Amino acid sequence: MSAEDRATPGDASTLRIGEVAKATGLTTRTLRYWEQLGLLAPNGHRESGERLYTSAAIERVGRIRELQDLLGFSLAEVKVVLDAEDELERIRSDMRSHTEPGERRKLLVELIATNDKLLGRLDDTLGRIQTFRDERAVKGKRMRKALRELDAEHSATTG
Amino acid sequence: MSAEDRATPGDASTLRIGEVAKATGLTTRTLRYWEQLGLLAPNGHRESGERLYTSAAIERVGRIRELQDLLGFSLAEVKVVLDAEDELERIRSDMRSHTEPGERRKLLVELIATNDKLLGRLDDTLGRIQTFRDERAVKGKRMRKALRELDAEHSATTG
DNA sequence: TGTAACCTTGACGTCAACGTAATACTTACT
DNA sequence: AGTAAGTATTACGTTGACGTCAAGGTTACA
């Protein structure tokens, strides 16, 4: 019967959904929801229907959180990025497969465009946050100066 | 009757809510909602109750959007930052008021702490986005290399 | 073998940040 | 003065990203 299972169920590196949840700090609900959105699929299922993951899922969760929290992407946007990454991985591991060179080239060009677009977006965001940061730094200096003046005034009064 | 109005209603620089909306690209609903949250108050009202703004409101909207979109702050977090900024402005314009120096100093120290905290958060975010960006750049280079190799292979076949 | 802990699939609830619609008054323009 | 366009308030609807039961099957360990 173990031959029926897809995800090497006896394997020590096989994780149940609760284990992935615990390892990532997410809830099982979130993991199922993300699966529903096509962000994170289990490696396979047992006959009972139980989801089985590998440790790669944990890394993928980290990637998703990075995009979600760090860059403020919606899960739909995250999916676009991850799909591109997956596509790239597929192409790279599939490089000498039976796929036609023309087709492969087309995919690559598409990926490069996607990547460049993302890079542009990142640079834009970086620039704007940098500007904002610098403004803040200037304000901080002004505030410290005001504080020093206040203290000098006080010591002049009391001294 | 015009003497009853608070916000210099005949003034050319006085804006109705729809004008602010048009100038900022927001809806009037959003402006009223933000007002409800204490983020953006009109400069005054007409007797009819109509809200009246100045161009400062437009700048403030920009500031809110910056915090909201750029840094991914919730409107509650935005409020904290804006309140601090307002407080600073009040202190600066009010520097020789009747407020006690001790009190002013305390406020200033508090503002500096808030600002430093925000700066730290910004730097953290900047660093992480930078890392992410660099990863992407590396991947881009790899992709371009793969593309070149693909093209070289093809020209070798056909040439 | 029992049974507590875990998993499954629904399905309804929640919270932020608005959208949208209804009703009534005001402003602006002809 | 008439009327279209704008505004106010109130209130219910929506969307994303989950939380939280409920009912029932499965796993794992004593």
Sequence letter at residue B36:
Q
Q: In the structure encoding, which two tokens stand for residue A89, read together?
A: 């991985």
Helix/strand/coil (H/E/C) assignment for every residue in chain B: CHHHCCCCCCCCCCECHHHHHHHHCCCHHHHHHHHHCCCCCCCEECCCCCEEECHHHHHHHHHHHHHHHHCCCCHHHHHHHHHHHHHHHHHHHCCCCCCCHHHHHHHHHHHHHHHHHHHHHHHHHHHHHHHHHHHHHHHHHHHHHHHHHHHHHHHHHHC
DSSP, res B48: T
Interchain CB contact of B104 with A (< 8 Å): yes
Give the best-scoring range by mean pLDDT among B28-42, B60-74, B90-104, B115-129. B28-42
pLDDT at res. A104: 79
Q: Give pLDDT tens digits for B139-155.
A: 999 989 989 988 987 77
User: Which is higher by pLDDT, B133 or B156?
Assistant: B133
pLDDT at res. B3: 31
| Residues 121-140 (A) with a CB less than 8 A from some CB of B | 122-123, 125-126, 128-130, 132-133, 136-137, 139-140
Pairing of the two strands B44-45 and A15-16: unpaired
Residue B104 has pLDDT above 90, yes or no: no
Q: Give pLDDT tens digits for B92-102.
A: 776 556 567 78
Residue B107 has pLDDT above 70, yes or no: yes
Residues of B in contact with A136 (CB under 8 A): 115, 118-119, 122
Spell out, as residue ranges, where chain A has pLDDT lower than 50: 1-9
User: What gap in Å lies between CA B71 and CA B73, rounded to an integer?
Assistant: 6
